[in-house]
């Protein structure tokens, strides 16, 4: 079984990276494969809202904008679970996370309960390097995204610079528990 860990920060040595690494460690400790996906390196552009907002994403459940999205969409459909780690930018997901997940939502949410992500566990982490005031709204966005994808929200974890010493362990434990739960 494989869990995709989506990290959406351009910084490969900061709080978001530490959270993603902790999630990967927890998944591996449970005996599952963890694949780290750095969304900033994935060459995924913005949704073009084709055909007045509903292009092939609505009818064929695929995006017609050709870039790095297609490979990630396929990988997401084949995975068994997901961890989404985003830095908090003005109370929201990062731009790279929004670009990928906006397009994934258009392709999968329109499938309803037939979504390839339906019922699969999802762990959300909002990593705030500043005050931490936006973690709640960022996690709320993730929770709505998980519902649109028909996923099963496993947990939502806020983390800040101040809570890093103990919350990184929380993320590791949450990812491990999710992975153990996937094994049955």
Report the C-alpha gap between 11 and 108 in whole angstroms: 29
Q: Which residues pair with 67 in a beta bridge?
A: none
Q: Is the pLDDT of residue 111 over 90?
A: yes
Q: Residue ranges per domain, the chain?
A: 2-183
The pair of structure tokens assigned to 182 is 């996937």
Report the C-alpha gap between 133 and 23 in whole angstroms: 23
pLDDT, mean of residues 135-146:
97
pLDDT digits (tens, 9 = 90+) for 55-86: 999 999 999 999 999 999 999 999 999 999 99
pLDDT of res. 47:
94
DSSP of 104-169: HHHHHHTTGGG-TTTT-EEEEEEEESS-STTHHHHHHHHHHHHHHTT-EEEEEEEEETTTHHHHHH
pLDDT of res. 54:
80
Does this model's pTM top 0.85? My answer is yes
pLDDT of res. 43:
95
pLDDT of res. 129:
86
Grouping H, G, I as helix, E, B as strand and the rest as coil, residue 11 is coil
pLDDT, mean of residues 151-170:
96
Grouping H, G, I as helix, E, B as strand and the rest as coil, residue 90 is coil
pLDDT digits (tens, 9 = 90+) for 20-40: 999 999 999 999 999 999 999
Per cent of the chain over pLDDT 70 is: 100
pLDDT, mean of residues 143-157:
97
Q: Which residues pair with 83 in a beta bridge?
A: 5, 123
Q: 2-183 has which CATH code?
A: 3.40.50.360
Single out the residue of 4, 47, 9 nearest to residue 24, CA to CA. 4
pLDDT of res. 132:
83
């Amino acid at each position: 079984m494989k869990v995709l860990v989506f990290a959406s920060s351009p910084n490969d040595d900061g709080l978001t990276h530490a959270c993603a690494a902790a999630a990967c460690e927890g998944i591996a400790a449970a005996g599952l494969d963890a694949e780290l996906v750095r969304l900033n390196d994935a060459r995924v552009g913005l949704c073009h809202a084709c055909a007045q907002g509903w292009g092939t994403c609505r009818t064929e459940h695929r995006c017609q904008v050709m870039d790095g999205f297609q490979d990630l969409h396929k990988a997401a459909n084949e995975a068994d679970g997901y961890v989404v780690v985003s830095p908090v930018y003005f109370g929201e997901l990062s731009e790279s996370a929004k670009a990928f997940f906006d397009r994934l939502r258009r392709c999968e949410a329109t499938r309803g309960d037939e979504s390839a992500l339906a019922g699969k566990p999802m762990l959300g982490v909002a990593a705030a390097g500043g005050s931490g005031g936006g973690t709640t709204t960022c996690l709320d966005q993730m929770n709505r995204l998980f519902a649109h994808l028909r996923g099963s929200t496993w947990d939502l974890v806020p983390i800040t610079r101040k809570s890093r010493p103990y919350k990184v362990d929380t993320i590791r434990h949450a990812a491990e528990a999710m992975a153990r739960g996937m094994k049955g």
